[in-house]
Each structure stands twice: as structure tokens, then as C-alpha cells.
């Protein structure tokens, strides 16, 4: 056995020596440049491309047998730019010759310097590499037809220095470039993990956007099946420019695992974590249609709890002004994302913003000239008023615009944007509870739509303090200024809690029915109150109006007439009434009323007049009549009820009304006793209007908003 072993070693050494001699002989007497034409022909036969060598090809014996290439170019595909698709300043490829006898291809280190890769897509959607990956008929065998059975492929490592990749998309009108690409890998073998790391810069010529990207991770490849696997990948991106949110941004991307099938143009990724701007995004998903625009993308996305204010600050966006620091402080959500060409869908989106929970779904179709969007949004409890600033008060009045500047600007962009003419939007929005400046709406349901520059809702319903609210509206956003038509109807609304929440007044009571149908132009309160037109009507029943007890005052006046003591109403008093009804016509911002009717125990009143909404100027005649208690709430009209009638003129403004009565005319016909009663009644009505005016002046900001 020892003899056999020695013989085997001698034979093996002899074979190795002979092979070395052959290699030396080949390297000395054989010039590979004589085969350049054969190489050029072979490349053209396989790919239809031409290869051009600007420098001679050299053999290297150390540190491994290899080929040293100088500058070379590979032509572009037909129909694309005349410049080469691939350019290389220099490259070296080493080959280990002993594994060749075992049917294995083992390369030494591969070094590439000055690689320039120019990628393009034409207006028809074809790319200049389609023929190289089998999506176009080529001059050679299709990659899937090649027989690689038993082939063993290995590379000691790859180093790329100072490479550049450009992308020109004539279909989408976009372009970008990757420069200063430097990367290296460990030993690459079939189905064997190897480390990879590198960096490159990124820029977009048509916009102010540039940055640097560093990456590191572990990869493996199945070269026979064209499959890649990446694990523990870490990518760091730093970008600057005016088109970057906040002017500068940094993203940290970590990927647990990605499986890429080049032949099937399919990829799966798991445990993708993107961190930036104070937010974290986690996703798992699949991509179909690699190496071009994706054919499909599906992902499960989650955004853990984050501070909205911190995100806005990093984006250089000011939060809504004058809101409590606890507002816009926290949010989180998750959902399913699906993309196919021409359609994007978000499904089963759940989350929370501050104290408001939400369940939503969005579907966008954009394959045609007029994109369509369908939205479903279900909210829990939402206090909408806390997200808007309070109205600013001037010395004697309120600012005329009820919306803060940021909100007004957003609404202006929405309403005045030309995009509304090109899209179709449908939405169903609901809320369990909605608070607007303290006013509570229950079980809100709204169907909204937008098309051809018009925003409208055919149905808005809500519970409101034991009653109901129903409304509809339309906004012609394409017009300048926007033109709005609004209808709403209140039924059996309990006035006491309503005014308590809206004005902070607990003295009012009753059940309110109110109907309004109005139209106006503009977006701001100062514009609207000058041109609003329409009709209003109301009916308030079984209630209390604060400020005066007219029945008590009338009786006391009669009892104490002889003492001639002045008698005034107290704001602690109140008048119980059976009903207050009326209607009005709005024309160019002026409200005209001719049929006010008040029915109460011992009191009847009717009135007519006008109110200028812009200036709050009043011009009103109130005919108050003290009647027998049994007649106060009867069905008879005021003019048919016997009693002492006093006409009271009201002028000034809602905040500061003035009252007077011509008692001399009554004295002539009815006697001096009327003067006492009229004076007391005038003071009583003055207290009513003064109290109401005080409430309106002090709380009108809430009402306007």
C-alpha cells in the first residue's frame, strides 16, 4: 500500500508539473488578443451586442491565473441611445486552474474599476436590458434553455470601485443616477451565504434631491435557478434638497429576509423596518414584476405608536396653532396595502390618533383619464374643535375669518385646485361621537362625493341632544369663489343642553325644530355673510326664555301702580312659553322676518324686521301684549287676542340693542295706566334682548365656528 501511495503522489506531482508547464507555455507563446475577434463574434451571437476593446488583454500568473482587461465597451440595445450600455475602465478576473479538472469554475477575486452602466426605458415601456434577461428574442439560446447541470461556480470575492449607474425613463419622464459606487463581497459560491457591503451616492437631475446610501448584509445565490436570498440587511440613507421633507432626512432600513427569483421576476420580503422622521414602519410583503415596473405588490404594514408633533417638527411643518400640547401627540395604525398597475388599495386599516380610534379603507383607480377614489372611514369619538385655533378677538369685535390660516390654506388648495375637475371621489364617513366646539353629535353618518369640480353630500345625519339633524350640501369648487348650497333640518332638539354646551348658558329650555336652505359664495365668514341667500324657519316649544318674568311684572305693576315705583326684570327671572315660531328670508346677507309669534301664559308677542349679518345691525318692531293667562297659549293669533299691546322699536346691533316706545300715543287713547305698563314692559324686553345680546357677543366665536 505504501508503494501504491508513493506512485500516486508521483503521478499527481508529475501531472501538476506538466499542467504548470503547459500554463507557462500558453502564457508565453499564446496571445489572447489574437482571439478578440472570436470573443466579439461570440458575444454578438449570444446577445446581439458588440463589444469593443480599447486596450490589449493581458494574462496574469500571480497571485492567481487571470485576465487583465483594459477599457472596454458593450453597445446599447437597438432603438436606444447611441452611447454604450456598459463601459469599464479596467477589470481583472482570476481563475483557479486546478478545479477546472474537476469540472468546477472557481474564480479568484474579481475587480472592476470605473464601471458605467446606462439603463433606459423607452416611451413604449421596453428597457435596454430586456434581451439580456430573456424578455426579448436574442441571437443566442434562451437562458432557460442552457444546460448548467453539474456546473459548480465560485468567486473568491468581488470588488467594485468608482462605478456609476444612470437611469433614463422616457415613459415616466424621470431620471436619476447612482455614483461613487464602491462595494465588496466575501467568497461567493452557489447556495452559500456571503457578506456584502458598500456605499453610493444618489441624485435626481430634474429636482433638488441628492444623498448617500450605505448598505451591509449577508446574501446567497442559486446561480442555476437565478434565485437570491438576502438576510440581515442594513441600509442607511441620508438625503438633502428642497424636495426632501424638512430639507434634510435620514432613513434607517433593516430587512430580516428577502427572497428574489430573477427568472420569475418575483420577490418576498419579511421583517422590513424603516425608521425616520420619528416614525417606524414595519412591513412584510411580496413583489411581482422585478426589473421593470411591478406587476403587483402586496404588504402588511404597521406603524407603531409615534408622536405626531415630533414628526411634524422634523418635517419642518408647523402644527395647528393654539392647540393644547396634548393634541397631535400620539398615533399608531396598521393595514393591508395592495398595488396592481392602475390601482392602489388600503384595506382593514385600523389605528388611533390621540383619543380617536379609526377603521378605514381606500381604493384608488388611476388607469383612465379621470382617476377614481373610494373611501370608507369609521371613527370613534372625535373632538374636532380641539384641532382648530380659537377666533381672535379685536377690541370691539371678532375677526371676520373663522378658520385659522393653515386650515384656510389647505381648504383653498382643495377647493381651488384643478385636480378636482379630473378626479371622482366617493366617501362614506361615520363617527360614534363628534364634538365641534363642545356641541355633541351622536351616530354621525355622511355620504360624500366629488366629480367634475363639484363636492356634494346627499345625506348627512346625526343624533343631536335627543333630536336629529339631517343635512345636504353641494360646493361648486370650480367656480371662483366657490359657490355653496346648504340645507339642514333639526327636529326636537333639546335646547337646554344644546345652549349649555354651545354658549355656556343653562337658562334656555325647550324643543327646537329648525330648517334652513341657503346659498352663498366664498370660503370665509366675512365673504359669506355679505352674499348669503335663502330661507329659514324655526319652532321652539315648551320652553323657558331667560331674563324676565313678564307675567309677574304685569301683575306687580297693576298692584303697585299707585306707588309709581320703577320695576325692572332680573336676569334670574324667566318666561315660560308654549311656543316661539318664525321664518325669514335671507337676501344678500340681510335676514327679513315678518311672522315672529310668541305664545306664553299671560303674554303674546309678534314681530317683524331685519338683521344685517355682516354688521349685526337690527331694525325690528316687537308688538308685545299682556293678555289673560288663559289666552296666552291659545291657538288664536296675536291680533285676535284682547290685551294691552305695546309696540317696541329695537335698533342698534345684536350686541348693543336700543329700545324705545311712543307711549304718548297710547296715553291719548288708553289712559295713563298704559304708560306704566308700557314702560315696565319695555324694560322687560330690553332685559331679554340685553341678555341675548350678551350671550351672542360673548360666545359668537363658538357659534360662527
In a domain, 381, yes or no: no
> Is the Cβ–Cβ distance between 696 and 654 less than 8 Å?
yes
The per-residue pLDDT for range 624-641, each reduced to its tens digit, is: 776 665 544 455 555 554
Which range marks the domain in which residue 693 is found?
Answer: 532-705
Q: What angle do CA 622, 624, 627 make, to 5 degrees?
A: 160
Greater model confidence, 549 or 181: 181
* 3-class DSSP assignment, residue 417: coil
Greater model confidence, 220 or 49: 220
Greater model confidence, 150 or 605: 605
**Which of the residue ranges 315-319, 483-487, 635-639, 676-680 has the most confident prediction, judged by mean pLDDT?**
483-487
For 526, the enclosing helix (H) or strand (E) is helix 525-531
Residue 176 has pLDDT above 50, yes or no: yes
> Is the Cβ–Cβ distance between 241 and 212 less than 8 Å?
no
> Is the Cβ–Cβ distance between 622 and 651 less than 8 Å?
no
Nearest Cα residue to 515 out of 491, 483, 533? 491
What pLDDT is attached to residue 262? 85
Phi, psi values for residue 425, rounded to 5°? -125, 135
What pLDDT is attached to residue 101? 59
The number of distinct structural domains making up the chain is 1
Q: How confident is the model at residue 588 (pLDDT cuts 50, 70, 90)?
A: very high
Q: How confident is the model at residue 414 (pLDDT cuts 50, 70, 90)?
A: low
Q: 400: which residues sit within 8 A by CB, 6+ positions away?
A: 524, 525, 526
In a domain, 5, yes or no: no
**Share above pLDDT 90 across residues of the chain, in percent, rounded to a whole number:** 35
Long-range Cβ pairs for the range 5-9 (8 Å, 24+): none
Q: Kindly report the pTM of this predicted structure.
A: 0.71
In a domain, 688, yes or no: yes
Please tell me the distance from the alpha carbon of residue 312 to that of residue 329, in angstroms, as a whole number. Answer: 10
In a domain, 411, yes or no: no
Phi, psi values for residue 662, rounded to 5°? -90, 80
What pLDDT is attached to residue 81? 85
What pLDDT is attached to residue 7? 46
Q: 24, exposed or middle or buried, with CB in 10 Å at 0-12, 13-18, 19+?
A: exposed
Residue 148 gets which letter from DSSP?
A: -
In a domain, 607, yes or no: yes
Q: What angle do CA 446, 523, 620 make, to 5 degrees?
A: 95
Greater model confidence, 157 or 326: 157
- Written as one string, the DSSP assignment of 14-25 is HHHHHHHHHHHH
> Is the Cβ–Cβ distance between 351 and 308 less than 8 Å?
no
Q: How confident is the model at residue 593 (pLDDT cuts 50, 70, 90)?
A: very high
In a domain, 107, yes or no: no
In a domain, 362, yes or no: no
Residue 81 gets which letter from DSSP?
A: -
C-alpha cell recorded at residue 647 = 309696540
In a domain, 682, yes or no: yes
**Share above pLDDT 70 across residues of the chain, in percent, rounded to a whole number:** 69
What pLDDT is attached to residue 168? 87
Greater model confidence, 576 or 199: 199
Amino acid at each position: 500500500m505504501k508503494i501504491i501511495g508513493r506512485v500516486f503522489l508521483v503521478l499527481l506531482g508529475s501531472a501538476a508539473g506538466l499542467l504548470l508547464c503547459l500554463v507557462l507555455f500558453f502564457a508565453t507563446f499564446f496571445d489572447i488578443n489574437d482571439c478578440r475577434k472570436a470573443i466579439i463574434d461570440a458575444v454578438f451571437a449570444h446577445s446581439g451586442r458588440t463589444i469593443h476593446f480599447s486596450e490589449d488583454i493581458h494574462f496574469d500568473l500571480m497571485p492567481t491565473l487571470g485576465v487583465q482587461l483594459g477599457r472596454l465597451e458593450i453597445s446599447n440595445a437597438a432603438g436606444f441611445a447611441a452611447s454604450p450600455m456598459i463601459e469599464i475602465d479596467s477589470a481583472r478576473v482570476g481563475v483557479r486552474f486546478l478545479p477546472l479538472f474537476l469540472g468546477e469554475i472557481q474564480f479568484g477575486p474579481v475587480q472592476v474599476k470605473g464601471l458605467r452602466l446606462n439603463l433606459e426605458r423607452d416611451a413604449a415601456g421596453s428597457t435596454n436590458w430586456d434581451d439580456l434577461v430573456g424578455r426579448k428574442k436574442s441571437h443566442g439560446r434562451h437562458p432557460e434553455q442552457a444546460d448548467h447541470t453539474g456546473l459548480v461556480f465560485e468567486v473568491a470575492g468581488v470588488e467594485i470601485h468608482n462605478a456609476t449607474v444612470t437611469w433614463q425613463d422616457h415613459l415616466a419622464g424621470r431620471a436619476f443616477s447612482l455614483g461613487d459606487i464602491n462595494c465588496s463581497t466575501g467568497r461567493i459560491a452557489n447556495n452559500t451565504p456571503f457578506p456584502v457591503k458598500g456605499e453610493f451616492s444618489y441624485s435626481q437631475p430634474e429636482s433638488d434631491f441628492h444623498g448617500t446610501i450605505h448598505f451591509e448584509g449577508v446574501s446567497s445565490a442559486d446561480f442555476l435557478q437565478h434565485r437570491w436570498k438576502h438576510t440581515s440587511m442594513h441600509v442607511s440613507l441620508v438625503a438633502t434638497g428642497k424636495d426632501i421633507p424638512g430639507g434634510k432626512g435620514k432613513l434607517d432600513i433593516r430587512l430580516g429576509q428577502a427572497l428574489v427569483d430573477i427568472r420569475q421576476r418575483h420577490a418576498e420580503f419579511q421583517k422590513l423596518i424603516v425608521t425616520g422622521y420619528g416614525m417606524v414602519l414595519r412591513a412584510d410583503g411580496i413583489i411581482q414584476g422585478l426589473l421593470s415596473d411591478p406587476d403587483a405588490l402586496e404588504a402588511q404594514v404597521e406603524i407603531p405608536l409615534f408622536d405626531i408633533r415630533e414628526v411634524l417638527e422634523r418635517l419642518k411643518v408647523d402644527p395647528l396653532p393654539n392647540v393644547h400640547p396634548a393634541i397631535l401627540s400620539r398615533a399608531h395604525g396598521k393595514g393591508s396595502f395592495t398595488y396592481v398597475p392602475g390601482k392602489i388599495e388600503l384595506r382593514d386599516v385600523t389605528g388611533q390618533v390621540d383619543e380617536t380610534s379609526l377603521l378605514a379603507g381606500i381604493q384608488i383607480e388611476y388607469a383612465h383619464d379621470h382617476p377614481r377614489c373610494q373611501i370608507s372611514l369609521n371613527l370613534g369619538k372625535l373632538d374636532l374643535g380641539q384641532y382648530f385655533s380659537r377666533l381672535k378677538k379685536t377690541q370691539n369685535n371678532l375677526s371676520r375669518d373663522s378658520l385659522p390660516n393653515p386650515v384656510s390654506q389647505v381648504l383653498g388648495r382643495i377647493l381651488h385646485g384643478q385636480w378636482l375637475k379630473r378626479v371622482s371621489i366617493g366617501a362614506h364617513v361615520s363617527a360614534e361621537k363628534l364634538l365641534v366646539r363642545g356641541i355633541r353629535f351622536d351616530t354621525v353618518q355622511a355620504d360624500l362625493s366629488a366629480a367634475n369640480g363639484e363636492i356634494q353630500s346627499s345625506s348627512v345625519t346625526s343624533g343631536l341632544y335627543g333630536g336629529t339633524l339631517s343635512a345636504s350640501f353641494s360646493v361648486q369648487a370650480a367656480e371662483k369663489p366657490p359657490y355653496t348650497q346648504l340645507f339642514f333640518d333639526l327636529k326636537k332638539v333639546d335646547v337646554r343642553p344644546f345652549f349649555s354646551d354651545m354658549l355656556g348658558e343653562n337658562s334656555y329650555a325647550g324643543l327646537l325644530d329648525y330648517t334652513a336652505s341657503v346659498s352663498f359664495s366664498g370660503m370665509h365668514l366675512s365673504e359669506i355673510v355679505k352674499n348669503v341667500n335663502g330661507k329659514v324657519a324655526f319652532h321652539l316649544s315648551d320652553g323657558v326664555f331667560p331674563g324676565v318674568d313678564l307675567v309677574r311684572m304685569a301683575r306687580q305693576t297693576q298692584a303697585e301702580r299707585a306707588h309709581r315705583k320703577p320695576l325692572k326684570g332680573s336676569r334670574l327671572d324667566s318666561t315660560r312659553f308654549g311656543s316661539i315660531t318664525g321664518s325669514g328670508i335671507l337676501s344678500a346677507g340681510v335676514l327679513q322676518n315678518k311672522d315672529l309669534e310668541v305664545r306664553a301664559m299671560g303674554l303674546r308677542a309678534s314681530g317683524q324686521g331685519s338683521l344685517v349679518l355682516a354688521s349685526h345691525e337690527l331694525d325690528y318692531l316687537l308688538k308685545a301684549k299682556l293678555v289673560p293667562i288663559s289666552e296666552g297659549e291659545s291657538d288664536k293669533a296675536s291680533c285676535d287676542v284682547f290685551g294691552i299691546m305695546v309696540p317696541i322699536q329695537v335698533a342698534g346691533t345684536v350686541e348693543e340693542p336700543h329700545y324705545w316706545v311712543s307711549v304718548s300715543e297710547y296715553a291719548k287713547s288708553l289712559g295713563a295706566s298704559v304708560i306704566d305698563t308700557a314702560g315696565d314692559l319695555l324694560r322687560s324686553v330690553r332685559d331679554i334682548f340685553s341678555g341675548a345680546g350678551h350671550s351672542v357677543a360673548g360666545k359668537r366665536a363658538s357659534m360662527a365656528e
